[in-house]
Amino acid sequence: MVNIKMMDKCIFSGFPLDPADHFRGNQAWLDEKFDHESSRFLLYDRGRPLMDVSDGLQPAAKSAGDMGQIISKTNWRSMDWVFIGMDGETAFFAVEIGRQMPLETSEKFIDLRSVALQICANDFSEIPALLGRGKMLLDWQGRRNFCSCCGDKTTAANGGYLRKCVNQACAAEHFPRTDPVVIMFVVSGDDCLLGRGRGWPEGNFSALAGFVEPGETIEEATRRETREEAGIKIGQVSYVKSQPWPFPSSLMIGVRAEALSREITLDKNELVEAKWFDKAYLREIMESGDTANFKIPPKIAIARQLLDEWLQED
């Protein structure tokens, strides 16, 4: 796969293929690649990728020949699919095949969160980014069978990156959407603000987060969400990094936010608890591994990276 130098590694980032978007509108080329034996197909069941568990954990990518043996060509070519890119001369497609296929003993549909956590447990891998791209596009395809303008049916086009309304009087075009979310790592000197959401286990804390509303800048969304959820006023907001989040299709925008106040007033609909945590205390927890009463976000989350980077600063 394409060797990409990652400056800011996040799980679900580092997409390893050439998106080859110039081929998306070439239906003849796509048809040829769809039948080509070198092409590979990533299969999904309601967003869960098919994985090969025989030797570690790898995507169980199929060839066109494999697909023909699994299910009739008429059926599998009519399913939701998307062209996701090229690895050299090899085309990759993602297909929502569901439970319509027999599995090998070494194959299993696995929740993508679990896949990402296991694959990246010890080192960064680009596989979650590959699988996440397919999941996000297939999720969108499955929710866009009908036109939101007139209610008529839609059909996929442009390699799966477009759905067109079949009603010629409407002819609306629908494109994949991404929902921006700010992840606010709020700091005040050597303290950071972490919260526990409703339904979270006792002791589980993370950075605050919220969707960007229409007409807002990232900075405005950060200040509004922090004030709404914890009653804290925010001054300077600095962008840190971002992370694609395929559950179902968000872009997590990680920021550092400087607090202008410290008194916490909770929005009980959002948080059940929020606290200021001292950097020295958190470093001790991280070094000791004692998470009996305090659990940090898992490595899969950008909130963990924001925390780790802050703790590494002097």
Contacts of 216 (CB under 8 A, 6+ apart): 224
Does the pLDDT at position 6 exceed 90? no
Q: What CATH number does the domain located at 179-311 have?
A: 3.90.79.10
Tens digits of per-residue pLDDT, 181-209?
999 999 999 999 999 999 999 999 999 99
Whole-model pTM? Answer: 0.91
**Residue 31 φ then ψ, to 5°:** -60, -40
So what's the pLDDT on residue 100? 67
Residues in the chain: 314
Contacts of 96 (CB under 8 A, 6+ apart): 44, 45, 46, 79, 80, 81, 138, 141, 142
Q: Give residue-wise pLDDT tens across range 144-187.
A: 999 999 999 999 999 999 999 999 999 999 999 999 999 999 99
- pLDDT 10s digits, 96-140: 987 667 788 899 999 999 999 999 988 889 999 999 999 999 999
* Average per-residue pLDDT for the chain: 92
Give me the pLDDT at residue 101, please.
74
| Domain 21-142, second-level architecture | Alpha-Beta Complex (3.90)
One-character DSSP codes across the chain? ------SS--TT----SB--GGGTT-HHHHHHHHH-TT-EEEEEETTEEEEE-SSS-EE--B-HHHHHHHS-HHHHHSS-EEEEEEETTEEEEEEE-TT-SPPPTTEEE--HHHHHHHHTSSS--SHHHHHHHHHHHHHHHHT-SB-TTT--BEEEEGGGTEEEES-TTT--EE----EEEEEEEEEETTEEEEEEETTPPTTB-B-EEEEPPTT--HHHHHHHHHHHHH---EEEEEEEEEEEETTTTEEEEEEEEEES-------TTTEEEEEEEEHHHHHHHHHHT--SS-BPPPTTSHHHHHHHHHHT--
pLDDT of residue 222: 98
Percent of the chain with pLDDT over 90: 82
Percent of the chain with pLDDT over 70: 96
Is residue 271's pLDDT more than 80? yes
Q: What is the mean pLDDT of residues 226-255?
A: 97
Q: What is the mean pLDDT of residues 59-72?
A: 87
